[in-house]
Amino acid sequence: MDVAFILAHVPDYLSGAFVTLRFGLYGVGCSLVLGLLCCLLRYFRVPVLRQIAGGYIELARNTPLLVQLFFLYAGLPRVGIRFSAEACAVIGLTFLGGAYMAEAFRSGIESVDKAQVEAGACIGLTRGQNIRYVIFPQALATAVPALFANVIFLIKETSVFSVLAMMDLMNVADTLRTSGGRTTEVLFMLVAAYLLILLPVSVLATLVERRLRYAGFGNQHSV
């Protein structure tokens, strides 16, 4: 293990980590919004849009991100639609992540006892108030582990951004491996970089889950 080589290329990995984390977080944020929207469309059984959301979820979950990125970056230009590599990365990650987030939200909502919803209606809550004060807090507490698991999954999926010639962690590692021939050191730094990014997310997930449970969300006697 060449420590000098590792120390010399720490700035390269920091730069790659910034790209990975930046576009990963963009994709995660957009995925949460898209996932919640699709979940609500299906929950309220909105005509037509519900079927579209269901079809999108099945398509996104059953196709690899790599294929989706190739379609965005190389396929759409054939019909005159062009996006930058960065835009393709965010759109692709959002497309994939939105489907997984929607299923996480759905499982959380379905875990809420129907008696809770009926009790909310009985005390005069409107449908919107019922969702905001009764359903969503309990559903979110249940969905937190799945949501954070999806966050970790999506950040790891950013490793395929290298096919878009973006200088993310994977591209940096591949460039150093090809030019320097130090495979062991390069892979060690790559693993360490991903651990430094993902371990805090895992810790945050545990803290948030405990916080929600301590606050009383997720139990079935909130109404």
What's the total number of domains in the chain? Answer: 1
Q: Which residues contact 166 (CB under 8 A, 6 or more apart)?
A: 19, 23, 85, 86, 89
- The three-point CA angle 22-26-32 to 5° equals 145
Note whether residue 219 is domain-resident: no
The answer to whether position 221 is within a domain reads: no
User: What domain range includes position 122?
Assistant: 3-214
Considering just the CA atoms, what is the radius of gyration of the chain in Å?
Answer: 21
Note whether residue 223 is domain-resident: no
Instruction: Please provide the size of the chain in residues.
Output: 223
Q: List pLDDT tens digits, range 118-140.
A: 888 888 887 778 888 888 888 88
Q: Is residue 60 part of a domain?
A: yes
Whether residue 220 lies inside any domain: the answer is no
Q: What is the pTM of this model?
A: 0.86
CATH number of the structural domain spanning residue 113: 1.10.3720.10
State pLDDT tens for residues 186-200.
889 999 999 999 999
> Which residues are CB-contacts of 199 (< 8 A; sequence separation ≥ 6)?
none
The answer to whether residue 146 sits within a structural domain is yes
